Structure 1
Amino acid sequence: METHVNKLRGVNLGSWLLLEKWMVPSLFEGTQATDETTWCAELGAAAPERLRRHWNSFVTRDDFAWIAERGLNAVRIPVGHWIFGPDYPYHPSYGTARHPFVTGGIEVLDRAMDWAAEFGLKVMLDLHAAPGCQNGFDNGGIKDVCEWHTKAEYREHSLAVLERLAGRYRAAPALAAIEVLNEPRWDIPTDYLKAYNLAAYERIRRHCPAEKVAVVFHDGFRSYREYLGFMQAPEFRNVVFDLHRYQCFDRADIDSDIYAHLHKAAGDWRGEADAINAELGLPAICGEWSLGLDLKVVSLWAEGPYNHALEHMDDFQQHVANRGYAAAQLLSFEKYLGWFFWSYKTETTPAWSFRDCVARGWLPSSFR
């Protein structure tokens, strides 16, 4: 196994500063909303108090302490493009509200950076939702809309937010990385993404030196081979490649039994890690993974049927399967510069909740 020096072992703070309905269904009860954009637009004047209460309770200083106690050393924090408040470009999904999003998130992020520093955790800031939405997922801000790449003002605002984040936290001891865009969809042209990544690197480097802060880009759901020769040293320094690995969205995966899942995690993904490490010329991370095998619990959108590998197992077999699936993935992802479990906490889905997975013995109790 490769050296563990400076390896990032972390967890995502999902659905905190960027809501996802499947993770916090209680917040969405009684609304028609499918994502944070429509949630804010629908609730209007009632949104600020409800969302700020969530910000103040869903993740606290005690959670940062707990994360550090487990031996994790990093958190990835997803934010929306509205993190600084107005002014952001208008999108028709806002309806009559010019600026529907609740303000004050940046102060919560300030606090998070302080807590991370207090407990010795590194932070990867992640632009998870861009104007116009870059993927059509609820986590991109607007479900079923993917227009980020269609307007220059959307691109420019994304870059401006990255530069403001870099400028604001350039001296923050916890800041280790900024991810320029989470999960841009597979049909956005690779050349468009590459040009955006280059522009984002330049904006971030105006404030954050390569010795201190990595610039991270996501694979955009395409092969790492499309990025061979891209953003290489010495011209580019401390660039990191991000990939996300799940086995519950593709029909072939959904129809697999647990042995096939384990084989893919410990076999295919190990081979992929070896190939990326050998060929790409950039360090890589697995920025999202989970124990989730049941599509139904995450999807307010996916087509059934919702069969999955664990459905006919008894409790003991499910327990062993979860432990095995966790271990198989960890052994593969340890080959990278690091990994971040998705997510720290959910309301109703234990396989996606780091706290629940540790409590149930599916994940190790210590990552030291």
Structure 2
Amino acid sequence: MKPGKKLRGVNLGGWLVLEKWMTPSLFAGLNARDETSWCVELGREAKTRLQQHWHSFITRADFAWLAEVGINAVRIPVGYWLFAADYPYHHSFGALPHPFVGGGVEVLDRAFDWAEEFGLRVVVDLHAAPGCQNGFDNGGIQDVCEWHTQEAYIDYSLETLERLARRYGKRRALHGIEVLNEPRWDLDTKLLKRYTSAAYWRIRSHCAAEQVAVIFNDGFRSFREYTGFLQPPEHDNVIFDIHRYQCFVQDDIDRDIYRHLQKVVCDWKSEADELIGGLGLPTYVGEWSLGLDAKLAALWAEGPFDHAHTAMDDFQFDIACRGYAAAQLAVFEKYLGWFFWSYKTESMPQWSFRECVERGWLPGKFA
């Protein structure tokens, strides 16, 4: 499917790549902070626990509900360990050569079945790469960023993308494959471009441009660093992915709701106009949320964070959430599409799409 129909989507985060803040119950009583250390710490017990999570966290009923409210796409994060225990060793594995639980690919197969049943499009996103590309828990190993240091890690990432393209390239639901989620801001842009270009051709060897998009993330840098990159006619159906949050740096955390809204309708709106007019590629906002809670930032950044919204009563907080949601949607609708992060968490309602809808912070219908 060539770009055209606007995608209004939701991420299925915390499902095939674990993130402790999203599913704290899975990590209770453990020292683990990410999926790698979780599998290493649990050892043989990891298989039973993770398979139970895979079968209960997201189900067919969730796809049915998303379709009912008018969502037409899902972005599914996956790890490099999805297919087989042939991935390169990393020192975080300890004595285990291949610690990750197998069988995730069958879960992804089932997700494609459900997406096709309910008419949803699927973006498969390589969220965690060997050696970790960003040092975040969502990259597989927190506080480690070594993906760019070994050719074996980069090569295996490309192999994983080609396996995804080979397995799902003819599936009716497949909208696109994202080559790497959130590579860190200090990785060399030239290296990322070489990798992305190689990924494009590996995916294209199995997926026609008329059917499947190739998607790449901005890597926390200006779109201007990608001006002229992967342009038609040599490259076709390439999509740029940006993520927009206001809760991870101190300047944003210190904002009151009025300054949060101002950043959306002024800064992000101006950015959208510049990007749409200047990059030459269609763009998704691949991640966004209603998260303004400093408690989440404190999971990654040390130091005290004063919650600027504690003075609000419940009614005022609901209004703030609705306003922040509406402002973002008004801006993000300028792009080719957007994907809320995420469908579901255990204890963070502003990051849970379904709870945001049910609380009235987000619209009840998206079509």
Is the shorter-chain TM-score for this pair beyond 0.5, marking a shared fold? yes
In structure 2, what residue type is equivalent to 1:253? D
User: Which residue matches 1:81?
Assistant: 80
1:166-315 aligned at under 5 Å gives the runs 166-297=165-296, 299-315=298-314
The alpha-carbon deviation at position 312 of structure 1 amounts to: 1.2
Q: Which runs of 5+ in 2 are unaligned?
A: none
Confirm or deny that 1:28 pairs with 2:18.
Answer: no
SS at match of 1:311: coil
Q: Distance in 2 between matches of 1:306 and 1:363?
A: 26
- Does the CA contact (< 8 Å) of 1:22 and 1:298 recur in 2? no
Letter in 2 for 1:363: L
CA contact (8 A) 1:79 1:129 kept: yes
Shift of 1:113: 0.5
Aligned to 2:153: 154
Displacement of 1:5 in angstroms is 5.5
On the 8 A contact 1:22/1:299 being kept in 2, the answer is no
1:343 to 2:342 alignment? yes
Counterpart for residue 134 of structure 1:
133
Matches within 5 A, 1:33-48: 33-48=32-47
Q: Percent identity?
A: 67
| TM-score of the aligned structures, taking structure 2 as reference length | 0.98
Instruction: Please state how far the C-alpha of 1:310 moved relative to its aligned partner.
Output: 1.7
Inter-partner Cα distance in structure 1 for 2:300 and 2:8: 31
Between 1:218-227 and 1:4-13, the stretch displaced more is 4-13
Which amino acid in 2 is paired with 1:214?
A
Aligned residue for 1:335, secondary structure, equals coil
CA shift at 1:170, angstroms? 1.2
* Structure 1 residue identity aligned to 2:238: V
CA RMSD after TM alignment: 1.0
How many residues align? The count is: 365
| Partner SS state of residue 14, structure 1 | coil
Q: TM-score, normalised by structure 1?
A: 0.98
Instruction: Kindly state the Cα deviation for residue 295 of structure 1 after the two structures are TM-superposed.
Output: 2.7
Tell me the secondary structure at the aligned position of residue 43 of structure 2: helix
How far is 1:301 from its partner? 2.5
Q: Write the distance in 1 (CA, Å) between the matches of 2:249 and 2:237.
A: 32
Of the structure 1 ranges 4-13 and 119-128, higher mean CA displacement relative to structure 2 is found in 4-13
Tell me which residue corresponds to 1:333. 332
Equivalent-residue separation in structure 2 for 1:5 and 1:193 (angstroms): 27
Instruction: Please list every run of at least 4 consecutive aligned residues from structure 1 whose deviation after the TM superposition is greater than 2 angstroms.
Output: 297-301
Structure 1 residue 102 corresponds to structure 2 residue 101: yes
Residues 330-366 of structure 1: CA distance to partner in whole angstroms, max 9, x if unpaired? 1110000000000000000000000110010000010
Structure 1 residue 232: deviation in Å?
0.3
Q: Residue 126 of structure 2: SS of its match in structure 1?
A: strand
Which residue of the partner structure matches residue 122 of structure 2?
Answer: 123
Residue identity matched to 1:137: F
Partner secondary structure for residue 15 of structure 2: coil
Deviations 1:205-232 (A, max 9, x none): 0000000000000000000000000100
Q: Map 1:12-23 onto structure 2 (within 5 A).
A: 12-23=11-22
The 2-side partners of 1:91 and 1:200 are apart by 22
Q: Is the 8 A contact 1:228 1:279 kept in 2?
A: yes
| Structure 1 residue 296: Cα displacement | 1.2
Equivalent residue of 2:74, what SS?
A: strand
Alpha-carbon distance between aligned partners in 2 of 1:24 and 1:341, rounded to the nearest angstrom: 17
Q: Could you say what secondary structure the match of 1:312 adopts? A: coil
Write the letter of the residue equivalent to 1:293: L
Is 1:366 the counterpart of 2:358? The answer is no
Q: Matched residues in 2 for 1:284 and 1:295: separation?
A: 28
Aligned counterpart, 1:71: 70
Give the CA deviation at 1:299.
4.4
Quote the Cα distance in structure 1 between the aligned partners of 2:104 and 2:272: 36
Q: For 2:13, give the aligned amino acid.
A: G
Instruction: Tell me if structure 2 keeps the 8 A contact 1:78–1:127.
Output: yes
Quote how far apart the aligned CAs of 1:306 are.
1.9
- What SS is found at the alignment partner of 1:145? coil
Letter in 1 for 2:264: A
Unaligned stretches of 5+ residues in structure 1: none
Measured in 1, the distance between the counterparts of 2:303 and 2:330 equals 31
